[in-house]
Structure 1
Amino acid sequence: MALHKLTASLFAVMALIAAAVIGLTGTASAATADNGHQSFAAQAKQAGLTSTEAKQLQSKVDGYLATQGGKQVAANKIELAGKGEIVVSLPGERYARDLTSAAGTRAACPYENFCMWTGTGFTGTQYNLWQCQTYALSNWNGPGSWSNNQTPGTRARFLDRYRNTIYTTPGAYANNGNYNWAPVWYVVPC
C-alpha cells in the first residue's frame, strides 16, 4: 500500500473516531477526510479526463509518490518538499501540462530549474528541480530529454550507480531532446 494511501486511511479512521466522540456522522467525516482526492478527481474531470483516465493518472501519481516521495498537490503534480516538483503527463497526452494554472497549459521549464522528461523531445512526465542536491532517479531507463534553465553557466552532473560523474551538461542555458537515461542513477543540478 502506498504511503499516502496508508496515511489517508489512518486519517479517515481518526476522523471517524473523532466524529463518534463529538457526535458527527461518520459519512460527513469520511467525506472530509477524502476531500483532497475528491478535488483531484474534479480537477481531472475539468481537464477532460474520463473516470478511467483519472484512475490511470492517479495510479501513475501513486507510483511516483512511492518511488520519489513528496506530496500530491494537484491531480497530476507532486511537490518534492521544497526542492522540486513532478508534473505527470495525462493519459493519452505527450506533454505534461500544469493543471493548476488557469489555462492548464503545457508545463514550462521554469527559470533557475533543471528539468528532465521521461520522453524524448521534452515529452512525458516532467521533473523540475531547483534545489542544489543529489536526486535519485527511480525507473528512468531509456531515452528522455533535459533542459538546463538555471542561472547562466550553471552545470548539472549525471552520476552512475556508484555516484561517479558520467556526464556534465554545458552551462545554462542548454538542452538535449534525446538523452539516454539508462546509465544515470543520480542527478546533481548544480
Structure 2
Amino acid sequence: MALHRKVAGLIAGVSLVVGGLLATTPAHAAPSDDRAVSTTTQAVRTSAAGAEHKLGATATSPSISPAAKRVRYVTNGSYSCPYGTLCARVWDPTRGKYKVFDLYYCNTYSLSYWGSSGGFYNNQTTGTVAKFYNSTGGVYHSSTAYSVAPSWFNWDPVWKIENC
C-alpha cells in the first residue's frame, strides 16, 4: 500500500510538471533524440519528488498539499501543538527525525510518502472532528478534539486528512 501511494504521488507530481511544461512549450517542439527525452524525464522526476530526492534514492520526505501552516522536525515523539490546530507527526527517513505538520486552516489535505508510523495531536476547538481517509475515500479513523492518536498511529492507509 505504501509503495502504491508513493507511485501515485510521483505520477501525480510528474503529471503536474509535464502539464505545466506542455502549457508553456510550443506544440511543434519535440526532442531531437532519445537523450533529450531521457534528460527531460530525469528533470521532471527530480522536480516532482522535491529537492532532497535524487534519482535512485529510496527515501523521500513526507509532504502534504495544500501546505501546512507550519512544518517542523522533532527528534523524539514529544512535541507541542498550538490550540486550534491538528498536528500530524510522521517519520521522515531523509532526516532521521519526525516531521510535524501543523494543520490550522480548515481543509482537506492530501498526503504523499506517509507510509510510516507516527501520530497526531488534535488540539482544535473542543468537539471539532478530524477525519482520516483511505485510498477509496472511506473514513479510516476519526478524532474528536481534544484527543491524541493511539500509540504508533499507522499512516500507511491514510491518504487524506480533513481537519475540520
The residue that corresponds to 1:94 in the other structure is 76
The residue that corresponds to 2:81 in the other structure is 109
Work out which of the residue numbers 141, 152, 160 in structure 2 matches 1:178: 152
Determine helix, strand or coil for the equivalent of 1:156.
strand
Gaps of 5+ in 2: 1-50, 54-59, 92-96
The residue that corresponds to 1:150 in the other structure is 124
Q: Can you list the C-alpha shifts for 1:117-144, whole angstroms capped at 9, x where unaligned?
A: 114xxx7110100111110111111211
Please list every run of at least 4 consecutive aligned residues from structure 1 whose deviation after the TM superposition is greater than 6 angstroms. Answer: none
Q: Which structure ranks higher in relative contact order (CA pairs < 8 Å, sequence separation ≥ 6)?
A: 2
The residue that corresponds to 1:137 in the other structure is 111
In the comparison of the two structures, how many residue pairs are matched? 102
TM-score, with structure 2 as normaliser: 0.53
Q: Can you list the C-alpha shifts for 1:68-103, whole angstroms capped at 9, x where unaligned?
A: 467xxxxxxxxx3xx5221134xxx336xxxxxxxx
Provide the C-alpha distance between the structure 2 equivalents of 1:135 and 1:69, rounded to a whole number of angstroms. 5
The residue that corresponds to 1:125 in the other structure is 99
The residue that corresponds to 1:84 in the other structure is 69
Gaps of 5+ in 1: 1-57, 71-79, 96-105
CA distance 1:69–1:157, change in 2 (3 Å): closer
- Is the contact between residue 61 and residue 113 of structure 2 (CA under 8 Å) also seen in structure 1? no
CA distance 1:155–1:68, change in 2 (3 Å): closer
Provide the C-alpha distance between the structure 2 equivalents of 1:163 and 1:86, rounded to a whole number of angstroms. 25
| Cα displacement (A) at 1:164 | 1.7
Provide the C-alpha distance between the structure 2 equivalents of 1:146 and 1:129, rounded to a whole number of angstroms. 10
Provide the C-alpha distance between the structure 1 equivalents of 2:105 and 2:52, rounded to a whole number of angstroms. 27
Larger Rg: 1
- Is the contact between residue 129 and residue 163 of structure 2 (CA under 8 Å) also seen in structure 1? yes
Whose helix fraction is larger, Structure 1's or Structure 2's?
1
- Is the contact between residue 153 and residue 172 of structure 1 (CA under 8 Å) also seen in structure 2? yes
